[in-house]
């Protein structure tokens, strides 16, 4: 004779597993919704979300090694090279070899790239603020804290070393 528990869905048998899967779906849908808010604005300025991310990180952090750009905006090495090449062709950024180590290449904004990001970023930030308007400042800080905890744990679970940004 089989028990009722044998026929329960996996979510009822393991609430942590169900919550984990629901969280992944919620994170993905939230990110998708935010991209739908900012995407049209970026397209009006001739930028993809990834191109904008490269310009934005260089604007706020200054010149960075290409590997740092890749890590900060979550690209693969090949994708980084492709996006950087496209931005270079448009005159928005340039590559510069490191004086001390010729193997190291930095990415930096050009004057044209700086002008574009300075034009686009304020409206981008406003759109994000509007999209997240349903959350209080306190709730936003709670989400930030929780996501940082999630990121740090996921990095440890994957064997990746944590960084100062965790």
Average pLDDT, the chain: 89
Q: In the prediction, which pLDDT does 166 show?
A: 43
Considering only residues 4 and 112, tell me which one the structure prediction assigns the higher pLDDT.
112
Give, for 33, the enclosing helix (H) or strand (E).
helix 15-44
Alpha helices (runs of H) in 47-136, residue ranges in sequence order:
49-61, 66-73, 77-89, 111-131
- pLDDT digits 0-9 by tens, 74-92: 766 678 889 999 999 999 9
Domains and CATH numbers, the chain: 39-134 (1.10.10.10)
């Amino acid at each position: 004779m089989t028990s009722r528990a044998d026929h329960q869905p996996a979510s009822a048998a393991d609430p942590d597993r169900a919550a984990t899967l629901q969280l992944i779906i919620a994170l993905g849908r939230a990110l998708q919704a935010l991209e739908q808010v900012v995407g049209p604005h970026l397209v009006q300025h001739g930028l993809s979300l990834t191109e904008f991310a490269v310009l934005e990180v260089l604007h706020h952090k200054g010149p960075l090694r290409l590997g740092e750009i890749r890590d900060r905006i979550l690209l693969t090495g090949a994708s980084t090279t492709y996006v950087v090449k496209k931005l270079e062709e448009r005159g928005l950024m340039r590559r510069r070899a490191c004086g001390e180590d010729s193997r190291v290449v930095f990415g930096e904004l050009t004057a044209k790239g700086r002008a574009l990001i300075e034009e686009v970023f304020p409206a981008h930030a406003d759109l994000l603020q509007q999209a997240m308007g349903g959350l209080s400042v306190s709730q936003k800080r709670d989400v930030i804290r929780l996501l940082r905890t999630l990121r740090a744990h996921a990095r440890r679970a994957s064997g990746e070393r944590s960084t100062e940004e965790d």
